[in-house]
Amino acid sequence: MKRWFALPIFASLSFASCGKDGSTVVSLLCGIGNDSSALTVGFNLAELAGLGLTQNDAVDNTTIKDFLNDSLDSFVTEDVLRVKTVETAKPDDTTDSVRFLTLSGTLAGTFGVASSYFRDALDDSIFEYINDSFNVSSSALRIPKQTPFGPMFGDQHFPQRALAGLTTLQSSGDPHPEQWALEQTDFTAAMNYLSTIQGGASNRSNEVIVAVLDTGVDSEHPDLQDILVDGYDAVGSSTGTDDENGHGTHCAGIIASQVKTAGTSPLGVASRVNVKIMPIKVLDQNGAGGFQAIEKGVRYAMRSSPKPEVLSLSLGAGLDYGDLDDQTKTLVNQLFKDAVDAGIIVIVAAGNEGCPLGGSCRDSNGIFPKTIDEYIVLPCMYQDVVCVGASDPDESLASYSNYSSQEERSYRVNAHINAPGTNIYSTWPTDQTSYKTISGTSMATPYVAGIAAIMKSVYPELTQEQFIAFVQSGQVEPSEMVSKSEVGRLDLYKSLVAFGTDSTIGLNGGTPDGYSEPAVNPVDGPEESSSGSSPVSTLWSAICQ
Q: What are phi and psi of 127, to 5 degrees?
A: -100, 130
Q: What is the largest CA-CA distance in the chain?
A: 80
Contact 337, 239 (CB under 8 A): no
Contact 174, 168 (CB under 8 A): no
Contact 242, 285 (CB under 8 A): no
Contact 442, 349 (CB under 8 A): yes
Q: Which three-class secondary structure state does DSSP give residue 250?
A: helix
Q: What are phi and psi of 498, to 5 degrees?
A: -65, -35
399 is catalytic: no
User: Of 247, 323, 404, 491, which residue is the catalytic one?
Assistant: 247
The sheet with strand 288-289 has its strands ordered as 288-289, 15-17, 315-320, 375-378
| Residues sharing a CB contact under 8 Å with residue 105, sequence separation 6 or more, in sequence order | 76, 78, 79, 80, 81, 82
Contact 114, 31 (CB under 8 A): no
Contact 180, 166 (CB under 8 A): yes
Cα of 112 vs its chain's centroid, Å: 25
Contact 492, 420 (CB under 8 A): no
Strand positions, DSSP E, 114-273 = 127-132, 208-214, 232-233
- For residue 540, the one-letter residue type is W
User: Of 442, 457, 485, 541, which residue is the catalytic one?
Assistant: 442
247 is catalytic: yes
Compute the radius of gyration of the chain from its Cα atoms: 23
Indicate the burial class of 534 (C-beta count within 10 angstroms; 0-12, 13-18, 19 or more): middle
- For residue 344, the one-letter residue type is I
User: How far is residue 466's CA from residue 357's CA, in Å, rounded to a whole number?
Assistant: 24
Indicate the burial class of 158 (C-beta count within 10 angstroms; 0-12, 13-18, 19 or more): buried
User: Of 21, 35, 214, 491, which residue is the catalytic one?
Assistant: 214
Q: How close are the terminal C-alpha atoms of the chain, in Å?
A: 35
Q: Which three-class secondary structure state does DSSP give residue 101?
A: strand
Q: Which three-class secondary structure state does DSSP give residue 492?
A: helix
Q: What is the DSSP letter of 440?
A: B
Q: What angle do CA 307, 313, 317 make, to 5 degrees?
A: 140
Q: Which three-class secondary structure state does DSSP give residue 449?
A: helix
Cα of 90 vs its chain's centroid, Å: 21
| Residues sharing a CB contact under 8 Å with residue 171, sequence separation 6 or more, in sequence order | none
250 is catalytic: no
Least Cα distance to 13 among 288, 372, 333, 339 occurs for 288
* Catalytic residue ranges: 214, 247, 442
